[in-house]
Amino acid sequence: GAVVSQHPSRVICKSGTSVKIECRSLDFQATTMFWYRQFPKQSLMLMATSNEGSKATYEQGVEKDKFLINHASLTLSTLTVTSAHPEDSSFYICSARGSGRNTGELFFGEGSRLTVL
């Protein structure tokens, strides 16, 4: 089946630094990828929709200048948390869906746990 790989799985950084998280679809082309954030005991919150070759669409309340998304190819999307602060510490998960809007199943990456000191 489809596999989505996310890297790194865990990152600890100092406040003020930037962190890049990669999301790759390994055996299918993902025209659309989604980035979620999950705080403990809360649901996944969609941050943005990443479309290959175009600008990402951000959800209300998500700062596009802070969470930079690049989807330069059909198999790779990146999320960069710029000038990270402790409140950005969270579990970030990407998901990917191939072409066609009828499918509802998303394939999730393994997630990246970010801790900002």
Contact residues: another protein, CB under 8 A: 34, 36, 41-46, 49, 91, 93, 101, 104-106, 108-111, 113
C-alpha distances in Å from residue 33, one per residue of 12, 24, 41, 47, 87: 24, 9, 24, 11, 24
Minimal distance, residue 34 CB to another protein, in Å: 8
Secondary structure of residue 88 in the 3-state scheme: helix
Minimal distance, residue 45 CB to another protein, in Å: 8
Minimal distance, residue 16 CB to another protein, in Å: 26
> In terms of CB distance, is 39 or 64 closer to another protein?
39
> In terms of CB distance, is 81 or 93 closer to another protein?
93
> In terms of CB distance, is 82 or 110 closer to another protein?
110
Closest to 84 in 3D by CA, of 9, 6, 1, 21: 21
Residue 36 in contact with residue 93, Cβ under 8 Å?
yes
